[in-house]
Amino acid sequence: HVQLVESGGGSVQAGGSLKLSCTYSGYTSFIDCMGWFRQVQGKEREGVGEIDSDGTTRYAESVQGRFTISKDNTKNTLYLQMNNLKPEDTGMYFCAARGVASEVDANWRRVAWYDYWGQGTQVTVS
């Protein structure tokens, strides 16, 4: 099993920045891809971005150029740097991990594609 714990959420004014972290533990060698998702109450969880084991990143169009995903394997931590935040970025942010991955371009936005999820951290932009 893999355990994921998000942190770093909070409240920020529009135009501000936040950096989320997701620490992973357990069977970490299992992880091939990791993603960030967000969800607003009453709506479906949506993919924000993803990072492969080789460092390749993918982003939703709505965050491209504002958000950056990175990973530090020495610290077993995934990051989401969020700049120029907008009110529509408000939501619960989740990290997710996937084992052996294929067809990542086609699948990274799919909630069901991931094997493990964290509990989420709230981001509020006003």
Indicate if the alpha-carbon torsion angle 74, 57, 96, 126 is positive or negative: positive
What percent of the chain has pLDDT above 90?
90
Distance of alpha carbon 3 from alpha carbon 16, whole angstroms: 30
pLDDT tens-place string over residues 90-120: 999 999 999 988 888 889 999 999 999 999 9
Distance of alpha carbon 113 from alpha carbon 107, whole angstroms: 7
